[in-house]
Amino acid sequence: MDFRLSNEQAAIQKAAEEFAKGEFDKDIALEHELAHSFPYDIWKKACSLGFVGIHFPEELGGQDYGVLENALVVEAFCRQDSGLGIALSLADFASEIILRFGTQEQKQKYLTPLTRGEAISSGGFTEPDHGSDITFLNTSALKEGTEYVINGGKTFITNGTISQYVILLCQTDPEATPTYRGQSVIIVDTDTPGFSASDVGHKMGIKMTSTGELVFNDVRVPETNLVGKENRGFYQVLEFFDESRIEIAAQALGIAQGAFDRALAYTKERTQFGKKLAQFQVTQHKLADMLTKIETARLVVYKAGWKYDQGDLDARLTSMAKMYAGRIAVEVADEAIQLLGGYGYMLENEVERFYRDAKIMEIYEGTREIQKNTIASSILGKL
Ligand SMILES: Cc1cc2nc3c(=O)[nH]c(=O)nc-3n(C[C@H](O)[C@H](O)[C@H](O)COP(=O)(O)OP(=O)(O)OC[C@H]3O[C@@H](n4cnc5c(N)ncnc54)[C@H](O)[C@@H]3O)c2cc1C
């Protein structure tokens, strides 16, 4: 057993850290945060240097690396700035479904623009009445000749108002029993007539990503936009979650480390009662607890990524990584605010934003409770 990153992995991590340190300007981040705007300029630079889609094959503009290398990039970005890191990490959201199940034509058409900085993707699974439970969906795609006609709506869709296409999970056979055996994944270009998107409104964090409400009103797409097999979409999306949850766990890990970095620096500078805060033993214990949580999370996140790249899908480990890293990101960012006192509560001091951005880690891509359900069912099986 060797816990070290390979030289190549360490080089990727260093390159991502250097890029983030050089490009993630604090004032620009604050501007995007306040304007709720996507950081197009920084995203394009990240694409031109190969960070977006690093895990895609070279012929699609990627670098042929795995989920673990992608996680290293995401962690480094989120450590430097939670808001910018998450926005960049999610710019190719759900694309792995096409990567895994799509045809060669679909991959060329839809994935290459993501790595070139010419397109942003979104993944539409959640509906107003179906969040954690997507075993039945109200959004339907019914076959008419060589087309699917899509009707329905999705909510909380990251990049929903800015993406060039949606990777949509919908009901292609509303009569199927069980219902999830009648679901398919279909790509919908967002300039197709009948499609519309609007912003869901103010949210707690990740303000540099748009969160959209999508409406499909007799949207007609060619049958060639079906990804994978008809009526196998639910299973394809579950497999995608096994990968994407590792990426979310890496976001959480980066946020925790970034909040810790800032708390450490502050407590070594700030003096109260004639001493640096870091000289109080209570502060030292807090820092020790924070770093222990981060290091524990890192072990499980990297292991989940490594295992995935071995072709050994382990939903339980992935859920553990996402659940644990998400939880400790919230805890560590909370403690970081505490260590900065009143200054930590202010917008200009980034830990406040790290804290707000951390909370979504326990909600999207399956809530904390849903991860626990996955872990528990792997322990208990059918009772
Ligand atoms: C900012 C943001 C971005 C998002 N991005 C996307 C996106 O890009 N694409 C997309 O499809 N979705 C996205 N989502 C949706 C997200 O995945 C859902 O919000 C999430 O899955 C939970 O669904 P829900 O909100 O309907 O909550 P519900 O499913 O109604 O859950 C409410 C509470 O009940 C608990 N609960 C539900 N079922 C169980 C159970 N069986 N056992 C125990 N507890 C349970 C949940 O854990 C939660 O605590 C996003 C959400 C947000 C807020």
pLDDT digits (tens, 9 = 90+) for 217-244: 999 999 999 999 999 999 999 999 999 9
Of 322, 363, 368, 375, the one to substitute when testing ligand 1's pocket (max ligand atoms within 8 A of C-beta) is 363
| 8-state DSSP, 107 | I
pLDDT of residue 205: 98
206 lines ligand 1 (CB under 6 A): yes
Q: How many CB atoms lie within 10 A of CB 18?
A: 12
24-75 tens-digit pLDDT: 999 999 999 999 999 999 999 999 999 999 999 999 999 999 999 999 999 9
pLDDT, residue 383, reads 86
**CA-CA-CA-CA torsion sign (221, 224, 226, 229):** positive
Atom 9 in ligand 1: which residue has the minimum CA distance?
A: 157
Whole-number CA gyration radius for the chain: 21
Query: Both tokens of residue 156?
Result: 């909380």
In degrees, rounded to 5, the angle at the alpha carbon of residue 76 between the alpha carbons of residues 71 and 81 is: 125
Distance 294 CA to ligand 1 centre (A): 25
DSSP state of 52: T
365 included as an active-site residue? yes
| Residue written as token pair 């996680």 | 71
Interatomic CA distance for residues 308 and 66, integer angstroms: 8
- Give helix 233-269 / helix 281-309 axis angle, nearest 10°: 150
Q: Is 363 in the pocket of ligand 1 (CB under 6 A)?
A: yes
Within 8 A by CB and 6+ apart from 371, the residues are 245, 319, 320, 322, 323
Q: Check if the beta carbon of residue 340 is closer than 8 Å to that of residue 269.
A: no
C-alpha span between 151 and 172 (Å, rounded): 11
Tokens of 308: 């995935």
Q: What is the DSSP letter of 127?
A: B
Task: Please choose from 167, 367, 371 the residue to mutate so as to test ligand 1's pocket, defined by most ligand atoms within 8 A of CB.
Answer: 367
Coil vs helix vs strand at 97: helix
Q: In this structure, are strands 147-158 and 195-199 parallel, antiparallel, or unpaired?
A: unpaired
Supply the pLDDT for residue 70.
98
Q: How far apart are CA 85 and CA 259, in angstroms?
A: 13
pLDDT of the residue at 212: 98
Which whole-number Å values give the CA distances from 218 to 123, 165, 170, 188, 221, in the listed order?
19, 16, 14, 12, 10
Question: Partners of 214 in the beta sheet?
Answer: 154, 197
Q: Is there an atom of ligand 1 within 6 Å of 240 CB? A: no
Closest atom, ligand 1, to C-alpha of 205: 1
**Ligand 1 pocket, mutate which of 96, 126, 136 (most atoms under 8 A from CB):** 126
What amino acid is encoded at 30 in this protein?
L
Query: 3-state DSSP: the chain helix, strand, coil percent, rounded to 5?
Result: 55, 15, 30
The parts of the chain modelled with pLDDT lower than 50 are: none
pLDDT at 382: 85
CA nearest neighbour of 161 among 190, 126, 129, 128: 190
CA 203, CA 81: separation in Å to the nearest integer? 18
Using CA atoms, how far apart are residues 271 and 312, in angstroms rounded to an integer? Answer: 50
Residue at token pair 């605010």: 337
Query: In whole angstroms, what is the distance from residue 182 CA to residue 174 CA?
Result: 6
Determine the pLDDT at residue 251: 98
- For the question of whether the overall pTM of this predicted structure is more than 0.95, the answer is yes
